[in-house]
Amino acid sequence: MKMKTLAAMALAGTMAAAPAMAELVIPDLSYRTGPYAAGGTPFSDGYQDYFNLLNARDGGIGGEPVRIVECETGYNTEKGVECYESTKGEGALIYQPLSTGITYQLIPKATADNIPIHTMGYGRTSAANGEVFNWVFNYPANYWDAASVMVNYLLEENGGDLGGKKIALVYHNSAYGKEPIRTLESLSAQHGFTLSQLAVDHPGQEQKSQWLQIRRERPDYVLMWGWGVMNQVAVQEAANINFPMENFIGNWWAGAEHDVTPAGAAANGYKSLNMNRVDADLPVFAEIKTLVHDAGNAAGDGSNLGSVLYTRGMYAAMLAAEAIAKAQEIHGVSAITPAQLRDGMEALEITEARMAELGMAKIGPEFSVSCQDHGGTGLGIVQQWDAGAGKWVALTDYIAPDNAVTDPLVKEDSMAFASENNIEPGCL
């Protein structure tokens, strides 16, 4: 009798678990606490809201509902690993940790587990070489592209000549902040500008000495690789020393509304890169508003709709959803596996027409992914903060990076990784 009951319970258990297998499980390694929460929260809101929109509007992707598993990492690598291990078992399809540190942890683990990672505009730059990093994608752009786009923009501003100029790099003293240094060094040799490096330690609230040094050295331009509370402090400090804001350019993780609003009018004119366009009037936002927020399914408090990082989180979710659709098309099944999703990501093609169809026209550049190139086009725009209107204004169209500089660096770094880890470069 007892055995029978147990067997019945076990059977009921498997039956209850069975429908769960048919979902598309998307883990969201978010951070809504700690010094980086200001950036992590809107990104995660956008990421989740888009999948919720797909569930509400289309019943998921290809008929399969999406289930989001959120896990708080606090931008901490140990918690990131714990989150990875705890969500992996649920059948996670793709990881987007929004942290370069956690990405470095996950690259070997996810490669061993055959789960793709998408690190959009962050993570390990040389993962753009898809023959070495089969499971890691960083389209549409990476840090070395960003560094090159910045220099190209400055070249354009200065009539093609940066000779004798002084450029300072203020960077977060971590893997994230150190990534662009190699590119900027080789660009400095090529274009003849002097590069000075100023490291800011985690979490970045203490920057007085760095900005004092900038005041003393008077560089022509300051570039910044900042994130979280570091950005707000840097903008405020730049204002304090009366550094001309139009010569202060952040990368795409240092250019959101919450980075500049604390400094008020003093932040007017601050520039930053962006890899996606910001347009609060995109039709997709109206759909999210009615189908997700008004239905009470908003991921956060719903206040971030249309902001820079919300848009980027939604863009990341869109790229993942498109890759899932592509994988379903390639393999002819709707309940795909992580390995099948990887094939979809490798065959991903984003066109103007498709973006317009999704209600987010011109949100990003057109690009396609291939086995050799997991990095996309690397295009970026320069945007400027208008403190009076309280919004970011795009100054340029998409600027291309100098691939002649970044490609050899990607090759070199990825090959070093391949030889360290005994990887035979090749397509899967």
Partner 1 sequence: MLYREAGDFKTSYHADNQTFPIKFDRIGFWITMAIAFLVIPFVINDYWANAIFVPFLIYAIAAIGLNILTGYCGQVSLGTGGFMAVGAYACYKLMTAFPDVSIVIHIILAGGITAAVGAAFGLPSLRIKGFYLAVATLAAQFFLVWLFNKVAWFYNYSASGQINAPERFVAGVAVTGPNTAPWAQYMICLVFLTVCALIARNLTRGTVGRSWMAIRDMDIAAEIIGVNPLKAKLTAFAVSSFFVGISGALFFSVYLGAVEVGEAFGIQKSFLVLFMIIIGGLGSIFGCFAGAAFLVLLPVALKVLGVDVLGWPTDLVAHLNLVIVGALIMFFLIKEPHGLAQLWRLAKEKLRLWPFPY
Residues contributing to the site for partner 1 (CB under 8 A): 30, 32-33, 37, 41, 70-72, 74, 76-79, 81-82, 85-86, 88-89, 100-101, 104-105, 107-109, 111-112, 124-126, 173-175, 178-179, 181-182, 199, 201-202, 413, 420-422
For partner 1, the closer CB: 85 or 156: 85
Distance from C-alpha of 142 to C-alpha of 305, rounded to nearest angstrom:
25
How many CB atoms lie under 10 A from the CB of residue 122? 26
Distance from C-alpha of 383 to C-alpha of 271, rounded to nearest angstrom:
6
For partner 1, the closer CB: 147 or 150: 147
Give, to the nearest 10 degrees, the angle between helix 77-88 and helix 100-113: 30
Residue 393, classed as helix, strand or coil, is strand
For partner 1, the closer CB: 80 or 140: 80
15 φ/ψ angles, rounded to the nearest 5 degrees: -70, -40
For partner 1, the closer CB: 31 or 248: 31
For partner 1, the closer CB: 174 or 384: 174
For partner 1, the closer CB: 124 or 277: 124
| Joined tokens for residue 145 | 């592209």
Contact 69/96 with Cβ under 8 angstroms? no
Contact 351/108 with Cβ under 8 angstroms? no
**Eight-class DSSP state of 305:** T
Q: How far is the CB of 343 from partner 1 (least distance, A)?
A: 21
Distance of alpha carbon 212 from the chain centroid? 31
Q: How far is the CB of 324 from partner 1 (least distance, A)?
A: 23
Q: How far is the CB of 202 from partner 1 (least distance, A)?
A: 5
Q: How far is the CB of 104 from partner 1 (least distance, A)?
A: 4
For partner 1, the closer CB: 81 or 394: 81
Q: How far is the CB of 145 from partner 1 (least distance, A)?
A: 15
Q: How far is the CB of 220 from partner 1 (least distance, A)?
A: 26
Mind giving me the DSSP string for 64-82? BPEEEEEEE-TT-HHHHHH
Beta strand 391-394 with 194-200 is: unpaired
CA angle 185/122/427 to nearest 5° reads 95
Q: How far is the CB of 233 from partner 1 (least distance, A)?
A: 17
Q: How far is the CB of 24 from partner 1 (least distance, A)?
A: 19
Contact 264/245 with Cβ under 8 angstroms? no
Distance from C-alpha of 316 to C-alpha of 137, rounded to nearest angstrom:
12
Q: How far is the CB of 146 from partner 1 (least distance, A)?
A: 14
Contact 335/88 with Cβ under 8 angstroms? no
State which H helix or E strand residue 2 sits in: helix 2-21
Q: How far is the CB of 413 from partner 1 (least distance, A)?
A: 6
For partner 1, the closer CB: 161 or 206: 206
Q: Which neighbouring-strand residues pair with 71?
A: 29
For partner 1, the closer CB: 8 or 416: 416
Distance of alpha carbon 141 from the chain centroid? 9
Distance from C-alpha of 127 to C-alpha of 411, rounded to nearest angstrom:
10
Q: Token pair 């995109």 is at which residue?
A: 282
For partner 1, the closer CB: 118 or 124: 124
Q: Token pair 């399914």 is at which residue?
A: 297
